[in-house]
Structure 1
Amino acid sequence: MDFSTRHRLTLADGPVVYRKVADGKPPLLLIHGWGGSSRHWQETPEHLSDIRDLYALDLPGHGDTPARPGATGPEALARLVIDFADGLGLDRFDLNGHSWGAAVAILVAANWPERVDRLVLTSLGMARNALERFALTQAYHQMHLSLSLWRPWLAMSRPWLALSRPALDWFGAQPLVYRAIAAHVLRQLPADEEMVRVGVREFLSTDPLSALECAVGAGSPAFAAALETMAAPTLIVNADADAVMPSSGARALAARIRNVREALLDDCGHLPMIEQPEAYHRVVREFLTATSLDLRSGEQPDTR
């Protein structure tokens, strides 16, 4: 199960770097979150490779996939995931997205329902009431306009920002730094601090424009619209100590999904696949292998 080897697939708009463990089983695509990379799924092969072929890609500007010259908003990233699957020859697949990657996965499942068999949304929530939705929508429109004005200048700065990577690598390798950053997303630091150090280094090396586009795109109204049509059986996995995506937001998300199952992990933070790999992958495995799914229909959303 060599998940450390990086592979490269060239798409029409540029290369995508990914990791895989595949020998002919049904495929499961894995999409990392904001500021992350395919490395976030490094524990997954040990727990799921006996039932699924695993493909974990680095989104543009993250990990080893180069940033794109054009805009990479949520719709563009959903299209990229489909192009990636096409390039691998995957007609149908299960899909698991983490945080921002889960939001992209929603667009994939809604816009290409014939491609996604089962959907896992890890560490994702949404606005919990009408007031929060209004505030998020207003912020999105204002930030989206500002980004359109700043994008050309930020794109031109990319070569200069690349020169700072050695300094960022050194900065992120300092124990006080990587522990402080990791403490915002993890309930408990894993025993292997090298994993944390490398993860923080990748976070600090994320292309700034790509990261900004993801942050702005998180408020896109496209996600709420996609939930209205998404029909794939869905598992939502969140954690009770997730400071980034609180469990109350996950419940609000579940209420808007038609065919949904929920799982809440105890004493865990924003990266359950790393922090509690056994418990996390157990619930994912049960969902992917269940012959009949005990799902409930989401409640009617509050549209006031």
Structure 2
Amino acid sequence: MTFFPDGTANVVLAGPGESSDLPERAWYLSEHHLVGRESCGVVLAPGWADYTEPKANHLWFKTARGEGAFWLGAVTEPREFFLPVYVHRTQGRPFHDINDGFWSDIDYHFESRLHVNSTRGTKFVDFRLADQPKVATEYDPIFDSFQPYLVPVICGRPWWFGPEDVFEWVNGKPVEGRKLRNSGDQKASPEWTIQGPGAFQIPDGQGDTVVTTPNLYPGEIARIHTDRSKYIAKSNMRPNLYRDMGAQRFRYPVPGRKSLDMSKLRVIGGNEYSSAVCTINPKSRRPW
């Protein structure tokens, strides 16, 4: 029995590949290590834990004479967990060949990616080696061609990410009833790519609020990050688009598993080349 029973989910570990001068490799961790020994040579062992929720630090305001404290918020910490695996020989590949390849794809100095594919879709998290792997063995593993490892990993971005949610629109196409759903369970700030000419009215949040851009020139393409911690907006014709927007700012991220209503999307003074693409990078606490 594997960690994920048949038909529920499977786990794939992908190395950094060409970006770190390594081969493009994937390790299919949900295969059983005793089924003909024809798998990739690395499988998930029992005992995987702490992958469903990141840790957080609560921030409190306390007074000298007051009882208790007032909650100010919570800061999510980098996600840390142990990944238990078996490394074993396969038909045609010796143990040391597989062991060297696997450990080439996990390191302190670069990130690897762990995918979980389930009936609810695919989610992934990027991680790097956090500490020394835990190894317990009585003999040189070459005798058994088999070695269990408990691999400590850390993820700077603590959420499980999914494929982008995308909305595309060209001037003249209807927007009534069209929405962009945030498929993650955490709030998300959309990113917009708009092409002029025209001044765009971009919906913000769940109500009737819109943010109006300056008039874009023909051929001008602007990228707008609506995250309040970034406030990045620039185009191929001006370095700071937010400066030309005055006091306007995007204020309302899309809640988890909710949708952004696009019915207020407009372009004033546009033509058949005016267009908009909105994307959300969904974030979740759990891999399914």
Q: Normalising by structure 1, what TM-score?
A: 0.22
Larger Rg: 2
Greater fraction of residues in helix = 1
